[in-house]
Structure 1
């Protein structure tokens, strides 16, 4: 083995790596990104879960008990309603994670040592369900004329997944994760593949416009994405007994929005990448934040505010709210319209940028 030749090959490889900015960014960026995500954004100790109260007693004791619950830091007041049914409506719409019911005979119940407060929990998220369950063990002080440090009995009622079965929570999310991984990757290499094979110049000379070319690249994969959605849903219902409480039409509408959002993002990546390998590298910067910050693996409520802002820019975040709300809580698009609008806005922005950048590359 000649050391000079070996050294020359090593220097050549390092110089080539230095010219490949995407690979260099991966080498430096991925460890930093993972450290920030896992060390700063991921937090399993949930605080400030959105909650609503239906205080039917309206006594000084009931108000003090409610204040004690909010003092725990696990929940924060988002709304006050009149009836338990209104709390259930808010849970179904995904506006709150916890509802607190104070019955009209609250004072007599706690004097008798009976159940005096009821906590309604959105069980479609197992981590949120566990965190809210801690409220049942939280001590509530009684007024001074009762025995000191007495505990008001609290019952926790979980909706949508009372058995806490993991597949009920995971399978709807897997629809979004799989669609994100496949759709972004498929289209990220679409334009680059045409360039590497020499087909792009031929396409430019045809009467096909740039917009038609970009949209034509997207639509076939949209059909593939809907087929993947059907397979995942069928297996989830058949093998894991995942309930589908909402409309199948709404589920496919939500899946279509996510598919188009991911395909538009993939096209944008494809316009900037110089090779298929580089395009695949760039998709990793989408996969990691999407899986970790969307609420699929780690709870959204446990993230710091900055991480929550970033997660709002990810299509998977809004799709998870849509699909879990429709499948598990029986919500419809009228209840979750804001997430649908967010996906439509993302599609419009990404597709517009992809078409414009593709136009600049052809000039």
Structure 2
């Protein structure tokens, strides 16, 4: 054992890492990213859930009850409705997560000691149902007379009921399996195309492609198309196993599910192509893909509630295709919505595909350097 030769190898590796800017960025970037995401962006204490309110009584007491619910900070009003049916439509379309219904006979119910309000909850996200429990604890009155003993007073517990839709049993698999479709497609599709162009260079195939009349757009699109079929096979496997093993429902159109999957597949494939035009080796491509996986899984709403994140983290999540796909797949599979009702997220994925494909085509050059 020669310590001199060993030291020479150590110096050589350090110099090589210094030249590899992507590896150097990962040394610092990964711990910083994890610290920021877990410490700042991840928050299980939900605040500001988008809520719709239908106050059919519109009395001083009903308005006070609604204001007390808003004062908790759990919900933020984004819509008003005349009937509970309108709130249900908003829930199905994903416009709101919580609906507050105050019936016309609110005052009579309050005097009789009956339930005076109802909270409609989007059960496709289990964390939302947990947050709704805080709203149900808001007192209708400070104290309500007890009919059996007029001189005593009892807290008005159970006066606000919670109704969970789309997952009344609160089974985790119903919420997780649709999201797994997006997570698996993100991990595989980005990685597949992320190493596509780099692999051509490393195997010497790029020299053959340079000699052909192929233009950049033809090569990029040709790289993407075969993987769309692979992504659809993966989607079918996940849906079949989810239905067979966990009895996950598909309340909407199966065609809409596959259209949403195709949009995510294309978005991830174009992103992978852009990575491949930047990476110098397959290892670098995998490193760069890792920087996409981590924020996608943590910020998209798959693992942690989207509503609990600060605004800056939410703005960043809106750039990620997985965020929009989760809204689409849960809306279609669990809430029975159609894609035209979720058109905002469809347009977001289409815009992402166009931007990434254009950037990949512009960056690619048919040359070896």
Structure 1 length as normaliser, TM-score? Answer: 0.97
Please, what is the CA RMSD of the aligned residues?
Answer: 1.7
1:354 aligns with 2:322: no
Partner of 1:311: 317
1:239 aligns with 2:255: no
Q: Please, which moves more after superposition, 6-15 or 309-318?
A: 6-15
1:151 aligns with 2:156: yes
Partner of 1:216: 222
Structure 1: which 5+ runs fail to align?
A: none
Deviations 1:247-287 (A, max 9, x none): 01100000000000000000000000000011001100000
Structure 2 length as normaliser, TM-score? Answer: 0.95
Separation in structure 1 between the aligned mates of residue 295 and residue 128 of structure 2, nearest angstrom: 21
Deviations 1:169-200 (A, max 9, x none): 00000000000000000000000000001111
Q: CA deviation at 1:137?
A: 1.8
Q: CA deviation at 1:141?
A: 3.4
Moved over 2 A (4+): 138-152, 359-363
User: How many aligned residue pairs are there?
Assistant: 363
Secondary structure of 1:17 counterpart: helix
Separation in structure 2 between the aligned mates of residue 97 and residue 130 of structure 1, nearest angstrom: 12
Alignment of 1:11-50 (within 5 A): 11-50=11-50
Q: CA deviation at 1:133?
A: 2.1
Partner of 2:55: 55
Which of 249, 252, 260 lines up with 2:255 in the alignment?
249
Separation in structure 2 between the aligned mates of residue 138 and residue 169 of structure 1, nearest angstrom: 28
Which of 264, 267, 274 lines up with 1:258 in the alignment?
264
Q: CA deviation at 1:149?
A: 8.8
Contact 2:115 2:160 in 1 (8 A): yes
Q: CA deviation at 1:143?
A: 9.4
Q: CA deviation at 1:362?
A: 6.6
Partner of 1:284: 290
Partner of 1:102: 102
Q: CA deviation at 1:57?
A: 0.8
Secondary structure of 2:334 counterpart: helix
Which of 157, 161, 180 lines up with 2:167 in the alignment?
161
Structure 2: which 5+ runs fail to align?
A: 147-151
Q: Please, which moves more after superposition, 219-228 or 198-207?
A: 198-207
Alignment of 1:87-236 (within 5 A): 87-141=87-141, 151=156, 153-236=159-242
Contact 1:140 1:150 in 2 (8 A): no
Separation in structure 2 between the aligned mates of residue 219 and residue 27 of structure 1, nearest angstrom: 35
